[in-house]
Amino acid sequence: MDDDTTRQSVLFSDLFDQPLLAKFDQPHGSSDGGAVLLKAADARLQLSQRLAACLDDERQAGKVSHGIQEIFRQRLFAIACGYPDGNDAARLANDPIHKLVCGREAIAGAALASQPTLSRFENAPGRRELYRMGEALAETVIERHRRRLGAKKVKHITIDLDPTDDPTHGAQQLTFFNGHYDTWCYLPMAGFLSFNHEPDQYLFAYVLRPGNAPAKQGAIGLLDRIVERLRAAFPRARIQVRLDGGFAGPEMFDYLEDAKLDYIVAMAENKILTRRAAPLMRQARRLSRASRATEHVYGECRYGAFSWRQPRRVLIKAEVVRLEGREPKDNARFVVTNLPRSPKHLYERVYCARGEIENRIKELHHGLEIDRTSCTRFLANQLRVLVTAAAYVLMQELHLAAARTALARAQVTTLRERLLKLGAWIEVSVRRIVLHLPQAMPWACEWRRIAKSLGAVPS
């Protein structure tokens, strides 16, 4: 910190009854005082330890000032606190809270790693290391919920996969123009789990892919790995896979049936399905003309494409969309499934529920900026998204700890603003570390309850 307090202060001479002088002169203060909650969540999950253990350190030991685990935690906690860029390291290197949560002494400890060190860290891992990190992330999430819910009490698990766009604006490797999104981008695939019909979805995978990758690329391999682990952890659970139309195809359907999985998968319209849906569409048009509103009718048929090994059950949603000032529009939708129950129940209560993962993906993009993939190398960007995914897992752990509080349904940005972004002053003695937080903090009650849920005790 610059010791020249003349340049570290500003004066408001006539803003109040008396002149106000604002000084940046508190060397033992931080604006991220609540980040100790992230450290507690990480300690419970052992997440940073597990992921960092997947990385090989080929540096000369005598020249190493910052260990791999420390650097990993530095990026992990910085991203969770709202600093997605490696350049932010210059501003945070001497922050006492960030030093503390990364394992250094808060006040007397040396500065954290610089931006060039972080850049070398991001560019070092190879494919095998990143693959192991992805496995470790999924295993950590599964183990967390096995302990939370009990292996024998989980009866139903839903797996959701969804592609999303990650626009690129430079010369990154494997960035291509994608006509669907009308931009140069990567096309990552995100994977989520939900248990026993709980409303929340938990991230277990985030795989970066080239911008011209088909939606289904890598999906079967990812499903195969996660299903094996889920069955080992929850032997009594039925596993359901829920996918959008980009994943539909004979290979996917054959895999889902061979693996004895329940599935519900959207499918694109074709001429045969359009003919099958025609009677339902006529009925929907009559209802819409009579009500002057949007109407839909459900039905089903058996359908088998030439490339399919057998016909399958296809749900039909025949809808006429009617908006004020516009012509009515036909909107037929098709979903392939092996589940029982009525078409209406399956479409509205089961398939449409997958729309909630769009909110989780928005949190990843807007809350943690997982699309900050500006490294030149593709593998470096894959490391970035894995670290960001790990930060999201920590934020979801805070969300679990916030159950039965006013923050029970809060999203990432709200959790950060109300729990992590706290002005704090740190006092270190031989016996203990004292973190002084604002007495008038509006969410102090929730903060204390979450801290207790993560292992703190009243003092």
176-206 pLDDT, tens digit per residue, is 999 989 999 999 999 999 999 899 999 999 9
Whether residues 297 and 341 share a domain: the answer is yes
Domain assignment present for residue 101? The answer is yes
Domain assignment present for residue 284? The answer is yes
The stretch 2-23 carries a mean pLDDT of 80
Q: What is the pLDDT of residues 105-162, one digit of tens each?
A: 999 999 999 999 999 999 999 999 999 999 999 999 999 999 999 999 999 999 999 9
Rounded distance, CA 262 to CA 264, Å? 7
Q: What is the reported pLDDT for 27?
A: 87
Whether residues 295 and 426 share a domain: the answer is no
The stretch 263-276 carries a mean pLDDT of 95
User: 160 with 192: CB under 8 angstroms?
Assistant: yes
Instruction: Quickly state the pLDDT bin for 448 (edges 50, 70, 90).
Output: very high
Domain assignment present for residue 329? The answer is yes
Tell me what percent of the residues of the chain surpass a pLDDT of 90.
89
CA-only gyration radius of the chain, Å:
26
Q: What is the pLDDT of residues 331-357, one digit of tens each?
A: 999 999 999 999 999 999 999 999 899
Domain assignment present for residue 321? The answer is yes
Domain assignment present for residue 444? The answer is no
Whether residues 16 and 116 share a domain: the answer is yes
Rounded distance, CA 363 to CA 400, Å? 16
Rounded distance, CA 405 to CA 424, Å? 23
Whether residues 132 and 239 share a domain: the answer is yes
Whether residues 111 and 133 share a domain: the answer is no
The stretch 239-266 carries a mean pLDDT of 96
DSSP string, 202-238: EEEEEE---TT--TTTTHHHHHHHHHHHHHHH-TT-E
SS3 428: strand
Summary mean pLDDT of the chain: 94
Whether residues 85 and 31 share a domain: the answer is yes
Whether residues 117 and 174 share a domain: the answer is no
Q: What is the pLDDT of residues 89-101, one digit of tens each?
A: 888 999 999 999 9
Q: What share of the chain is helix, strand, coil (3-state, %, to 5)?
A: 45, 20, 40
Last residue of a domain, one of 333, 352, 371: 352
Q: What is the reported pLDDT for 63?
A: 85
Q: What is the reported pLDDT for 1?
A: 45
Identify the domain containing residue 372 by its residue range.
Answer: 127-258+356-381
Whether residues 30 and 60 share a domain: the answer is yes
Rounded distance, CA 99 to CA 90, Å? 13
Task: Please say if the pLDDT value at position 309 is more than 90.
Answer: yes
Domain assignment present for residue 429? The answer is yes
Please return the burial class of 249, using the count of CB atoms within 10 Å of its CB with bins 0-12, 13-18 and 19+: buried
Whether residues 148 and 120 share a domain: the answer is no
Rounded distance, CA 406 to CA 404, Å? 7
- Give, in order, the Cα–Cα distances in Å from 370 to each of 79, 196, 279, 316: 9, 28, 45, 36
Task: Please say if the pLDDT value at position 170 is more than 90.
Answer: no
The stretch 46-61 carries a mean pLDDT of 93
Instruction: Quickly state the pLDDT bin for 8 (edges 50, 70, 90).
Output: confident
Task: Please say if the pLDDT value at position 6 is more than 90.
Answer: no
Whether residues 240 and 298 share a domain: the answer is no
Q: What is the reported pLDDT for 421?
A: 96
Whether residues 228 and 375 share a domain: the answer is yes
Whether residues 182 and 113 share a domain: the answer is no
Domain assignment present for residue 263? The answer is no
Task: Please say if the pLDDT value at position 4 is more than 80.
Answer: no
Task: Please say if the pLDDT value at position 7 is more than 70.
Answer: no
Last residue of a domain, one of 337, 365, 381: 381
Instruction: Quickly state the pLDDT bin for 64 (edges 50, 70, 90).
Output: confident
Counting the structural domains of the chain, the total is: 3
Q: Which residues contact 432 (CB under 8 A, 6 or more apart)?
A: none
Tell me what percent of the residues of the chain surpass a pLDDT of 70.
98
Q: What is the reported pLDDT for 66?
A: 92
Domain assignment present for residue 279? The answer is yes
The stretch 383-393 carries a mean pLDDT of 98
